[in-house]
Amino acid sequence: MVHAESPRALHRFAVFLASCVIGLIAAGGLVKSLEAGLSVPDWPTSYGGLNPPRWWEIENVRAEHGHRLIAGTVALMTVALAIWAWRREPRRWVRRLAWGAGVAVLLQALLGGLTVLLFLPTAVSVSHAALAQLFLCMVVAFALVTSRGWRESIASPELAATGRDLQALASGTTVLVYAQILVGALVRHTGSGLAIPDFPLMFGRWWPPQFDFSITIHLIHRIGAVLVTVAVVTLLVRIARCSSRRGFVVPAVAMGLLLVAQVTLGATIIWSGRAVLPNTLHVPTGATLLAASLILTLRSWRAAAAAPASSRTVGEPAMVAA
């Protein structure tokens, strides 16, 4: 199948938007790290107007109002992307993906406003965090499928032979990373980040001596980190054995590096008593890891969809030429 080409500028704009979304997620992480979510008590206005007086001079207001300004800019950019795609993107499902991102960012804004007006209920705040990641995934997916590499990959018979085992492994890793981020959001928004105050031990042992809700979800997050590590390492080994194509190797290596950074940040949060910088960076690093995993997953699906039936063996890695 050969489809008409998406405008290169549209793809580049989508890549830029994806990086802005990661910046927006980082800004949201900063708001939570500073506990500044209610420092601007009204919504959609800020202290009754567009910009509170001296907002850029006051740390918490700068964080919360800055988050709103970035969010507003990203929302406008997403609407622009959707309109652009509607006019220039030849594939219907890609156009729908862009509109889906537009709807997601508007829902995200509503959730953000709702959590302020309702005094940060955990369910709404965690939903806000969860939808942020889905919105990022939509924009990343749009950027990927409008890239030249996506179109070329369909015409590559050696890549098509990669097989479904990689598809399943990459998909499972992406789902696992997303689930880990959801648990992380629950940890953050229930104030459970220091429920287990030491690392790598837990209360000086290898297993917590007692449990409550905070300790349990904190423990689940740590176990999740182990599972994600196993999944990413397995994926890396799998890619190293079956493919040297840039489209697979780059996101796989990125995932490895991001995983190391993420685990280091997680440990630093504990050791520093939840210092603002590592506590903030932990959020966009996790989001970028999810984005890299999604890219790898979508490429593996693309390869599997094009693979001939004879090459779709499970557990038997197919060698892919560079």
Partner 1 sequence: MKHTFFRLALGLSAIALLAACGGGDDTTATTTEAPLAAVVPSGGSGSITGLVSYSGDDTDAEINMDADPVCASAHSDPVSTESVVASDGNLANVFVYLKEGVGGSHTVSSEAVLLDQTGCTYVPHISGIQVGQKLVIRNSDPTLHNVHALPEKNKEFNQGQPFQNMELEKSFDTAEVMVRLKCDVHPWMSAYIGVVDHPYFAVSGTDGSFSIEGLPAGDYVVEAWHETLGTRTQSVTVGDGAVTVSFDYDA
For 14-46, the DSSP string reads HHHHHHHHHHHHHHHHHHHHTT-TTSS-SSSSB
Toward partner 1, which CB reaches closer, 55 or 135? 55
User: DSSP code of 309?
Assistant: G
State in angstroms the smallest separation of the CB of 54 from partner 1.
7
State in angstroms the smallest separation of the CB of 307 from partner 1.
55
Toward partner 1, which CB reaches closer, 47 or 199? 47
Contact of 286 with 261, CB cutoff 8 Å: no
Toward partner 1, which CB reaches closer, 19 or 51? 51
CA of residue 44 relative to chain centroid, distance: 26
Toward partner 1, which CB reaches closer, 29 or 37? 37
Cα–Cα distance between 85 and 146 in angstroms, integer?
10
Toward partner 1, which CB reaches closer, 154 or 194? 194
Cα–Cα distance between 305 and 303 in angstroms, integer?
5
State in angstroms the smallest separation of the CB of 59 from partner 1.
4
Chain residues in the site for partner 1 (CB under 8 A): 35-42, 47-49, 52-54, 57-61, 119
Contact of 202 with 219, CB cutoff 8 Å: yes
> What amino acid occupies position 126?
V
- β-strand partners of 49: 46
Helix (H, G, I), strand (E, B) or coil at 202: strand
State in angstroms the smallest separation of the CB of 230 from partner 1.
39
State in angstroms the smallest separation of the CB of 268 from partner 1.
22
